[in-house]
Structures are given as C-alpha cells and as structure tokens.
Chain A
Amino acid sequence: MPTFAIVILVLFSAALAGVLVVRPAITVSRAGKILAFGVLFFLPLFSLVAGMENEMQRSESTAFCLSCHIMEPYGKSLHIDDPSYLAGAHFQNHRVPADEACYTCHTNYAMFGTVKAKFGGLRHLYVYYLGKPPLPENIKLYEPFNNRECLHCHLGARSFEAGATHNADPATLPAIKANTLSCVSSGCHDSVHNVGHWGDKVKFWNGGS
C-alpha cells in the first residue's frame, strides 16, 4: 500500500476516533457500538500494521540507508566511474535494483537473513544516536562477506561459470562455491566500496538515482 494511502487511512481513523471522543454517547445505539469497535480496535491495529509494514519496506531502500550521513561516502562509492569497483559497477549497471542496492548485497540469503538484517539495523540506530559511531572508513562487516550473497544471483550465470579467470585453475570454481575462496579476496574483486582509499584520481558518474 502506498505511503500516502496509509497516511490517509491513519488520519481517517484518527478523525473517526475524534468523533467518539467528542460524542461518546453515540455508542448507545447498536450502530454506535459497531463504530466504536471498528474505530478503537480494528482500524488502529490495521493502520499500525500497515504503517509498520511500510516502514519495513522503506528500510530496504537505498535512500533510507544513505539518509544517515555516516553512509554518505558509501553512497558516493556507488557512482565511482570505474568498473573495477564492485559496488558501483553493480549499481550503475542495475545488476542489483538501484533503489534497493545496499539491501540486496548486505542481506544474507539464509533463512533468517532478513530478520538478522533488521536487528542489525536497530543496532546501527542505537550506535548512531546513543553510541560512538565509527568513521565511515572504519566501518567493518560483522562477519566476512559470504559468497552465498554473490552466488544468489551469479550461480549458474554463464559469465560466472564459464569465466576465464574462474576456470584458469580447476580448483577455483569449487572453492568459490564452497566459500573457501572469497569473491572479494585480494587479487579478485577486491575493490568494493574502498571508502577512505579513493585517492585523487577517482572519477564519478553523474547518472543514476
């Protein structure tokens, strides 16, 4: 449900509840009782669930992640005009949905990946508002990036399975699939965001959202 529709629903529910607050005597009639149940039970709970669902979806958007200024350099890295930068290349070429770029790669695709990501987000909020947030270049992943997140899309793709570098050594592809050789390990796709290490030569692409 679009946000504006939920806001209208919420305000409509509040207006109806306002009628009950001003004139509670209308609940004497049978219709009034039904109205009271709808306005003070069903509508508020429905509005709350719809609002929370909307906020959960919004939390998956790139704009949401980048709304914390500590994330600004990471947002900027999506526009680096250099295909060797993994995050930028994926974002600019829509290999990930541009409006959910962060969430697509930084959610693990295990059973509780989404829940884990949401709890991680709550922890980020705590650190951001009540703790001591690190410098952007000092932000680290909780655990090494799992190839599973890459293979969610790339497994079975011709460019991955038949890629010359991936097949140069017969042990490489099985090692990648077993997560014993990281996709982002040194010498492979090791330029991801590289915040704090761009230097002066890096250029930025002006397109995209």
Chain B
Amino acid sequence: MHPGGSMERRLRISGIMVITGLLVEALCLAWSQPIAFVVLVCIGGALIGLGVLFFLYSLLSASSHPASSSGAAAGK
C-alpha cells in the first residue's frame, strides 16, 4: 500500500462528508420552507461539522505518525 494512502483515504472521506453537507445546505437555501432551517442545521451542519472534525483528526493523526502520511497533506 502507498504510504500516504491512509491520509488520502481520510481526506476523501472528509471531503465527501463536507460536499454532502454543502449540497444539503445549497438545497435548503433554495427551499423556502420552515423545515429547511432544521434540515440545514441537523443534517447539513452535522455533515459539514463531522467532515471538518474528521479532517482535523486526520491532520493530528498524521502529525503523530509522520511516516504513514509522507505522501499526503499533513505528513510533510
């Protein structure tokens, strides 16, 4: 396995969560119903929040194991 594979996989997971959350947010902004706010916060906000937290976790875990992340974001 590529040494940076783990970091790349985490970046992908984080990115997918953020993208899904952002798309939910875009839909909610276009949807003028009171429930849109709740969907934005509970689903969009949660996905974006989890994505960002997972990204930060990736950075922290990469800095604590520099050898395994030499090929990606925080490893160098």
Contacts and interface: CB of A to CB of B under 8 A. Distances in A.
Given A47-B22, A58-B32, A27 B15 contact: no
Given A17-B22, A21-B12, A24-B12, 13 more contacts: A10-B26, A10-B29, A14-B19, A17-B15, A21-B11, A27-B7, A36-B11, A40-B18, A47-B48, A51-B25, A59-B34, A68-B34, A124-B34
Interface of A: 3, 6-7, 10-11, 13-14, 17-18, 20-21, 24-25, 27-28, 32-33, 36, 39-41, 44-45, 47-48, 51-52, 54-56, 58-59, 63-64, 67-68, 121-122, 124-125, 128-129
B29 A25 contact: no
Interface string B33-54: 1111110110011001101100
A200 B32 CA distance: 33
B37 A67 contact: no
Nearest to A54: B29
Contacts of A41: 52, 55-56
22 contacts: A3-B29, A7-B29, A13-B18, A14-B26, A18-B15, A24-B8, A27-B73, A28-B73, A28-B76, A36-B11, A41-B56, A44-B51, A44-B52, A47-B22, A47-B48, A48-B45, A55-B36, A56-B37, A58-B32, A59-B37, A67-B34, A129-B35
Looking at B11, B34, B48, B52, which has the most chain A CB atoms within 10 Å of its CB? B34
Interface in B1-30: 4, 7-8, 11-12, 14-16, 18-19, 21-23, 25-26, 28-30
Contacts of A10: 22, 25-26, 29
B66 interface: no
Contacts of B18: 13-14, 17, 39-40, 44
A25 B22 contact: no
Contacts, number: 123
A33 B74 contact: yes
Nearest to A68: B34
The A contact surface, by secondary structure, is helix
A27 B22 contact: no
A24 B52 contact: no
10 closest A-B pairs by beta carbon, nearest first, are: A27-B73, A21-B15, A24-B8, A14-B22, A40-B55, A24-B11, A55-B37, A10-B26, A44-B48, A17-B15
Contacts of A124: 34
A18 B19 contact: yes
A107 B66 CA distance: 54
